[in-house]
Amino acid sequence: MRTNRAFQVAAGTTFASYFKLVAKTTRFVVEPPDIFDTIDEKMPVIMTFWHGQHFLTPFAMRPHHKAKVLISRHADAEINAIAAEKLGVGTIRGSGATSARDFHRKGAVSATYQMLDALKEGVNVAMTADVPKIARKVGLGVVTIARYSGRPIIPLAMATRNRITLKSWDRASLNLPLGRGAAVVGEPVFVARDVDEAGLLAARDLLQSRLEAVTARAETLAGLRDA
């Protein structure tokens, strides 16, 4: 059933409609309030967030923003890709890898070039920061894209008070309508083209701390944590 195209299209369309409803009925606080002006000055950018916390991220854009999101080639991810496209976000198919063999098998090489080309063309790129199958631990993928593109990484977290936490490896949040929500953007992370290995690791660690900070802040604003 998961590989049936008609089912995938129906499910992707349904998910897109559902998350439009969630976004429309959630009372969002945006922090900082002038973030769109700040991002517009820096575009194109690399938006990054935790895996499983990404369902509402298409609504962090303004209508004039062009963006493509990195989505796995896995059959289960096809529904996500269809939903993203229904929400006006282009897709790049491929995923991160934890070994040299996986780097080619999962389409990481092709996806990397597509992301770099998109940024060169002025299109924002969105991608999860986590190491594949290791939740909330930043991998080197996103900082490597920043290094070779010269574009800033923008850490983003979105949370809703009403949600269901799924029993998945990424602790995915199924956002529910009719409640408080928050979208929080952190300070950008820049990676120099000529950075050495130590500098690349330092950029990864800095992004880790900033993603943790915006996640905590978004959950606080949404009422999921005490202030």
Q: Is residue 226 part of a domain?
A: no
Strands (E), 72-144: 90-93, 124-128, 130-131, 134-138
pLDDT confidence bin for 62, thresholds 50/70/90: confident
Q: Is residue 146 part of a domain?
A: yes
Please give the average per-residue pLDDT across 114-142, as a whole number: 94
Q: What is the DSSP string of 16-43?
A: HHHHHHHHHHEEEEEESTTHHHHHHHH-
Please give the average per-residue pLDDT across 154-163, as a whole number: 97
Looking at the structure of the chain, the number of domains it has is 1
Model confidence at 128: pLDDT above 90: yes
Do 39 and 67 meet the contact criterion of CB atoms below 8 Å apart?
Answer: no
Would you state the pLDDT for residue 100? 38
CATH number, domain with residue 162? 3.40.1130.10
Q: Is residue 84 part of a domain?
A: yes
- What span, in angstroms and rounded, lies between the C-alpha atoms of 68 and 47? 10
Strands (E), 44-113: 46-49, 67-71, 90-93
pLDDT in tens, 79-115: 999 999 999 999 999 865 443 344 444 557 889 999 9
Please give the average per-residue pLDDT across 144-164, as a whole number: 97
Q: Is residue 13 part of a domain?
A: yes
pLDDT confidence bin for 227, thresholds 50/70/90: low
Parent domain of 143: 5-221
Q: Is residue 227 part of a domain?
A: no
Model confidence at 124: pLDDT above 80: yes
